């Protein structure tokens, strides 16, 4: 069982709407899928607002014994561009629409979209990767949250690789946590490790690849912490 000793308990991932509902007719399956989808959307909404509040309050989700490593650089430009366009759209709607009721409704939606974008930046910022006493914690804003104890770390090195898809992808026994499709750190485990994945899935992995803005710094920190813990992470 993976443990996350820090100032906030690990979040439980939302249910996966794609999971089948066994032993139910079409109507019940549709109702169950709708319920799961709504629950998942609500989970993301609450998590985004909590992340935004943490960001505004300058309270990153990092334990006192941990060193944080960001992973936001590759996606920050795109996020900022989307935010600027969304803000411009809000102003344009206010100036161009002559119908007060429609203008008010669309302005509310526009402001919500801008706030959600800032929430995404907040989630990326306050949930970084962490090198801490108990091990290496690899995260994505709303996806993976994987804890690797030091005795499971075999080799760690800077290694550039690409992998499409979402922010938490399993390929055989390799778990990819890319940002903008790229990974910059490779961790090969000494032993297989059972990890929890989004949508209440689990997997046994032997290798972990992910992105860190300061890949060299993270690799050095992992090797130093592993050595201090009595393990030796090779390069």
Q: What mean pLDDT is predicted for residues 105-132?
A: 89
For residues 185 and 145, membership in a common domain is answered with yes
Pairing state of beta strands 145-149 and 135-139?
Answer: antiparallel
Could you say which DSSP state residue 145 is in? E
Cβ partners under 8 Å of residue 190, min gap 6:
151, 152, 153, 154
pTM score, whole prediction: 0.77
Residue with tokens 């201090």: 228
For residues 121 and 135, membership in a common domain is answered with no
Instruction: Give domain status of residue 12, yes or no.
Output: no
Residue 13 pLDDT > 60, yes or no? no
Residue 194 pLDDT > 50, yes or no? yes
For residues 155 and 218, membership in a common domain is answered with yes
Cβ partners under 8 Å of residue 194, min gap 6:
2, 202, 203, 204
For residues 119 and 176, membership in a common domain is answered with no
| Domains of the chain: total | 2
3-state secondary structure of 116: helix
Cβ partners under 8 Å of residue 178, min gap 6:
162, 163, 164, 165, 167, 169, 209, 210, 211
Domain containing 88 equals 67-125
For residues 155 and 86, membership in a common domain is answered with no
**What pLDDT is stored for residue 63 in this prediction?**
94
Please write the tens of the pLDDT for every residue from 28-42: 666 666 766 676 677
For residues 136 and 224, membership in a common domain is answered with yes
């Amino acid at each position: 069982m993976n443990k996350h000793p820090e100032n906030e308990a690990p979040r439980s991932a939302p249910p996966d709407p794609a999971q089948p509902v066994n032993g139910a007719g079409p109507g019940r399956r549709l109702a169950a899928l709708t319920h799961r989808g709504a629950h998942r959307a609500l989970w993301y909404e609450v998590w985004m607002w909590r992340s935004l509040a943490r960001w505004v309050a300058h309270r990153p989700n990092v334990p006192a014994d941990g060193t944080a490593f960001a992973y936001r650089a590759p996606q920050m430009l795109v996020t900022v561009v989307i935010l600027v366009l969304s803000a411009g759209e809000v102003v344009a709607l206010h100036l161009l629409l002559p119908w007060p009721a429609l203008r008010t409704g669309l302005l509310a939606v526009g402001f919500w979209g801008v706030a959600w974008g800032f929430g995404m930046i907040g989630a990326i910022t306050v949930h970084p990767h962490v090198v801490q006493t108990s091990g290496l914690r690899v995260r994505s804003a709303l996806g993976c949250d994987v804890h690797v104890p030091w005795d499971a770390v075999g080799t760690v090195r800077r290694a550039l690789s690409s992998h499409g898809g979402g922010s938490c992808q399993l390929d055989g026994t390799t778990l990819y946590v890319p940002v903008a499709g790229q990974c910059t750190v490779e961790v090969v485990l000494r032993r297989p490790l059972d990890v929890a994945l989004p949508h209440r899935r689990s997997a046994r992995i032997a290798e972990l690849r992910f992105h860190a803005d300061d890949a060299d710094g993270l690799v050095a920190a992992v090797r130093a912490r592993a050595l201090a813990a009595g393990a030796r992470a090779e390069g």
